[in-house]
Structure 1
Amino acid sequence: MHSSFSVWNTAPTSAPAQRAGRYVPGSADHPAKMLPALAAHAIRTYTQPGDLVLDPMCGIGTTLVEALHLGRNAIGVEYEPKWARLARLNATSAMHEGGTGCGSVFCGDARDLRELVPSEHHGKIAMVLTSPPYGNSVHGQVRSTRDSGEAGVTKKHYRYSRDPNNLAHVATDELLDAFTEILHQCRQVMRPGGTVVITTRPWRARGELVDLPSAALAAGVAAGFTPTERNVALLAGIRDGQLIARPSFFQMKNVRDARRRGVPQHLIVHEDVLCLVKPPETGGAVHESDPRSQRGGTCRTRKPRTAATFRSRVCRAEGDHGLC
């Protein structure tokens, strides 16, 4: 099934309102959460009840929560132990609060996805729904400093972590190289005809617009997927035919500062939604679009790692990864 409309009305209420009573305390601290209604719309549109959904960078588990409530099964992979624990709690809560699917969360680097996802799920994943990390200019929360006797605000919850190996902290070129590898790993565990949905948006760096959506689409093609749709998911409400923007403090500040400098910037009130499909398998040979066949000497060297290495390093004492 395909989307009937290219513009998705996914923000009739604010993000906090969508998460209220559905996500465990602490979930709001993640700097870049997927909008629950966006995840639900994508899952409802491109999968059927009982299908298996994967998010290789699941954060607090928004993809899992919405999939479980819609009767799908879900797997999440998350690099940061803190967010992986929250994703497990959110998935467990969803199953206890009416969700009919089953979910599991694994902690590790999504570039080793094929080893992290249990082999019994390989070839059965119907959909990958994810969002790559991107610029922190629109992330975070603010707190007034008036109580401390100083005028102004302080910013909090705008970092994924302080781990320099987290892809949120690397240069854009390295991020895209890694994202291509992650999508390649996803292709290896998906079923033929499965759908990949990537949500992302552009951001500004030193006054210049970084077109991450187009770069993410190119990464999907390089990983062996075929593009099918490019949609828009609104981050603003609609009232009387007009968009009702809900920008963060920092979005407003950045736009106002730019306009004072004479730069005609505007608020970004949507996510780009990129849809791709896995084509039929052509055999066991490395596909010409396999990112490993194109990198040559430009790719950073990574030591081979196994799922066991990741689990012992960042998941020790986490207990059973499966939630069902």
Structure 2
Amino acid sequence: MHHHHTAEHADHRTCSSAAPGSPAVSVWATAQTSPAAQRKGRYSPDSSAHPAKMLPAVAAHAIAHYTQPGDLVLDPMCGIGTTLVEALHLNRRALGIEYESHWVDIARTNLTLAHHHTHNTGGEVVHGDARQLTTLLPDALRGQVALVVTSPPYGPSTHGRVTTGTTGVHKYHHRYGNTLDRGNLANIGHHRLLSGFTRILTTCTTYLKPGGHVVITLRPWREHSELIDLPTQIADCGRRAGLTPTERCVALLARIADHDLVARGSFFQRDFIRKQRDAGLPLHLIAHEDVLILTKPVPLTSQRLRAAQPHAVNGLGGNARPVVTKHDLEGVAA
């Protein structure tokens, strides 16, 4: 059951005494059922191979909170199409971009499944590079997207599935595409990843309607054993793209039990943690993702401008701003 944006937010808010002007904080209970249970019947078996799948409940929570039925949701790096599938199940329209043709095919299979289950055919995947978004999407969609849901493409250190064989444990599906393909953001290093992600957010912002939201999920990321403060760096990317960071949330990857959190870790994650601890590095199983919410500023309406300048003649003046329609403001938090 999904409540209105502000009501459900109040239910999950854990920090109501935040300093004025600082981003609101809330916890999303998104792992009460296992990832496998969340995907069962909704995603093709081939989907499991993707190294960085978003938890369906995380995408669904964002879509339920920040959009209304019929709204358009965009994921510029959609992978197996989790954002799109969950949008269709919530009676939204969905558009995804994916760079790797293999995942485009699987995302389209998952959309077909969603179309079959929901009879909602408002989903599409475009094959291409999200940094070239303006060449991939029609101009008519500018200012039409209510919500962007995505995650930066991490390097191989944070992902992976394993198979155990007679020769021990082997990691697979932990690298994106061809590691020699420099066009693939996951393989080009941290600083270039940030500049590429800024470019993606900048192009996404042109398609976002005023007051629309961008939800970015982030795993804690280590480089050479050092924990990188990715949320702060990604928030800076968003600011450079013309967005305003408005919330910083936590999406749980662990189940809330009566008195504690029950972590859900893959075999690979547990094996990796054990080896790191044996080597003297006190790592813990990841129990959450950071979620950053950024908003596209709403321009001053002509009414507000007139109120601010009561003697100005309608239509005149050198600082004309786009008029915001009632449709633009639908779904914008009060």
Query: TM > 0.5 between the two?
Result: yes
CA distance in 2, matches of 1:226, 1:135: 27
Residues 202 and 212, structure 1, Cα contact 8 Å, conserved in 2:
yes
TM superposition shift of 1:128? 0.3
CA distance in 1, matches of 2:267, 2:212: 38
TM superposition shift of 1:99? 4.9
Matched, 1:270 2:317: no
TM superposition shift of 1:143? 0.9
TM superposition shift of 1:53? 0.3
**Residue 72 of structure 1: aligned partner:** 92
Matched, 1:219 2:213: no
Q: 1:27 aligns with which of 37, 41, 47?
A: 47
TM superposition shift of 1:253? 2.6
**Residue 155 of structure 1: aligned partner:** 171
Over 3 Å counting, the alpha-carbon distance change for 1:266 and 1:284 in structure 2 is: farther
Q: 2:226 aligns with which of 208, 218, 227?
A: 208
Q: Helix, strand or coil: the match of 1:158?
A: coil
RMSD: 1.8
- For 1:130, give the aligned amino acid: T
TM superposition shift of 1:165? 1.7
Query: Where do residues 1-324 of structure 1 align in structure 2 (5 Å cutoff)?
Result: 1-2=5-6, 3-4=9-10, 5=12, 6-100=26-120, 102-146=122-166, 150=167, 152-162=168-178, 163-281=181-299
* Percent identity of paired positions between Structure 1 and Structure 2: 56
Q: Judge which range, 8-17 or 48-57, deviates more.
A: 8-17
Query: Number of matched residues?
Result: 281
- For 1:192, give the aligned amino acid: P
Residues 44 and 109, structure 2, Cα contact 8 Å, conserved in 1:
yes
Give CA-to-partner distance per residue, 1:66-85, whole Å, 9 cap, x none: 00000000000011111111
CA distance in 1, matches of 2:196, 2:83: 21
Over 3 Å counting, the alpha-carbon distance change for 1:284 and 1:57 in structure 2 is: farther
**Residue 316 of structure 2: aligned partner:** none
Structure 2: stretches of 5+ with no match in the other structure:
13-25, 301-318, 322-334
TM-score by length of 1: 0.83
**Residue 306 of structure 1: aligned partner:** none
Over 3 Å counting, the alpha-carbon distance change for 1:209 and 1:284 in structure 2 is: farther
CA distance in 2, matches of 1:214, 1:201: 13
Give CA-to-partner distance per residue, 1:177-205, whole Å, 9 cap, x none: 00000000011111111000000122112
TM superposition shift of 1:281? 4.6
Q: Helix, strand or coil: the match of 2:118?
A: coil
Give CA-to-partner distance per residue, 1:224-273, whole Å, 9 cap, x none: 10111000000011222211111122322332223223322222210101
Q: Helix, strand or coil: the match of 1:161?
A: coil
TM-score by length of 2: 0.80
Residues 68 and 74, structure 1, Cα contact 8 Å, conserved in 2:
yes
TM superposition shift of 1:156? 1.3
- For 1:154, give the aligned amino acid: H
